[in-house]
Structure 1
Amino acid sequence: MLGIKTAISSFIKGHSDMYPYRRYMCKNNCIFIHIPKAAGTSVLHALSGSTVHIQRDHCSAFNFKSADKKRFEKSYKFAFVRDPVDRLQSVHRYLLSGGNGINNKRLSTLISTKLVNFEDFVFNYLDPMRLHTEVLFRPQFSFLCNEHYDVLVDFVGRYEQIDKDFEIIKSQLNLSGDLPKSNISKASSETRLDVKVVDRIKELYSKDFELFGY
């Protein structure tokens, strides 16, 4: 029995894929905060060196710090943010197309049957409570900040200039190769949004606009 316990203990210590820290993080001594619909899958593929399926965890900086403060402090921490209006449109398109077909299946069905129009989705479904009950809707600051709204990561890149900003990540982590373009949603065919829709999104995601300069 002791031999089995020792073997299990050795396996756990040597196994680097321990939630929320993943093997690619240990390999690169980094923490990537994966905000949904901000090109995170492309970054994951670049960090892991593989374009096959990889676990997508949408953990906050607080989650990582709580799990292992020492590792959190010594790791290079980064994330990418996206214009909240553009990001929300991407989320809506993603759910219209079926989402991941697993844990957001019910929500995707609701969107695709009753809230196909983006304006209806913004005004008749989204509210401050729902922003925090579905990970896809969560404000970006909630992934990156503490209770004082201090950003807890070393670098925040922008989706809008991701190739340029990823060069900074490559330099920090000694990565090679270009950033793969993975899990990219189709461009929206919608016309320019009405100002009242944009204003509503600005109201819902006011802290994102304020902190990240959008």
Structure 2
Amino acid sequence: MVSHFHKCIFIHIPKTAGTSLWGIVNASQDNNKTDQLLLSFKPDDYKFDPPPPHLRASDYIKYDRIPKELFDSYFKFAFVRNPWDRLVSEYRYRMHAHEYSFKEFLFEHFPKPSWNDEYCHVIPQYDFLHDEKGNLLVDFVGRFETLQEDFFYVCEKLNIKKRVLLHRNKSTSIFNRRDNHPMKMLRSARDKLSINYRRNTFKKFTDYYDAESIDFVAKIYKKDIETFGYKFEDK
């Protein structure tokens, strides 16, 4: 996501509260919609070597989304999240608990490499932010675990009013709905009646794991864990 108004690029790693964060940046532009570029894809984009649904930092240049001189000069930022927590968020977001357990999701239904939305949601965060040589391409990496504090820093860099983040697009649903929306109320009732959902849903992300699944995530997201210093703990 690019804002020419604020001269910034936000690398939106899925499941790191990016929808909430960018909503505030967007709202701070005095409704100057024409100056902001929310990336969308034209049919021609899919003919040859199509870009992924969620652009990595390197993709902005690779797919000519922004001139390199602007990419280099703009303030580039992203947010990362504990990989174990991030995968639970994805599992809940897709509402898989109605169909199978979290462990079955990891070992039997984990997205295969492709440029579809589901796979892009589980790409290692390291790959979103680094080039093939391992160079970090963004100026600031915030953390989901200190989201508000780190977002205030982004606000200062962009010279926008500091605001409290409202968590949109929560992982309890693939839809962004109001609490009193009839469809959300219906889904909530279904959740309460679903034996599978109750059996496969826990309060803490750590409760979704056993030793085998902890190790599964540790291997896939080895670079995330080493680069951003994450451990399997509820913080």
What TM-score, normalized by structure 1, do the two folds share? 0.73
Give the deviation of 1:170 after TM superposition: 0.7
Distance 1:137 1:175 in 2: 31
Question: Which sections of structure 2, spanning at least 5 residues, go unmatched?
Answer: 29-36, 40-52, 174-200, 231-235
Give the 3-state SS of the residue equivalent to 1:130 in structure 2. coil
Match of residue 15 from structure 2: 37
Give the deviation of 1:126 after TM superposition: 2.6
Contact 1:82-1:160 within 8 A present in 2 as well: yes
Contact 2:130-2:136 within 8 A present in 1 as well: yes
**Are residues 1:126 and 2:126 paired?**
no
Give the deviation of 1:146 after TM superposition: 0.5
Q: What is the identity percentage for the equivalent residue pairs of Structure 1 and Structure 2?
A: 36
List structure 1 runs of 4+ shifted beyond 6 angstroms. none
Contact 1:80-1:157 within 8 A present in 2 as well: yes
Match of residue 207 from structure 1: 223
Distance 1:120 1:41 in 2: 28
Give the deviation of 1:155 after TM superposition: 0.3
Match of residue 183 from structure 2: none
- The one of 68, 78, 101 aligned to 1:117: 101
Q: Deviations over 1:144-175 (max 9, x none)?
A: 10012221000000000000111110110011
Give the deviation of 1:44 after TM superposition: 1.0
Residue 180 and residue 162 in structure 1: after superposition, are their counterparts in 2 closer, same or farther (change >3 A)?
A: same
Distance 1:122 1:202 in 2: 12
Match of residue 61 from structure 1: 57
Give the deviation of 1:131 after TM superposition: 7.9
Question: Which sections of structure 1, spanning at least 5 residues, go unmatched?
Answer: 1-20, 97-110
Match of residue 8 from structure 1: none
Give the deviation of 1:141 after TM superposition: 1.2
Give the deviation of 1:94 after TM superposition: 0.7
Q: Deviations over 1:95-133 (max 9, x none)?
A: 11xxxxxxxxxxxxxx4675x200111112337x53876
Distance 2:91 2:17 in 1: 15
Contact 2:93-2:170 within 8 A present in 1 as well: no
Give the 3-state SS of the residue equivalent to 1:138 in structure 2. coil
Match of residue 79 from structure 1: 78
Which of the two has greater helix per residue?
1
Residue 81 and residue 131 in structure 1: after superposition, are their counterparts in 2 closer, same or farther (change >3 A)?
A: farther
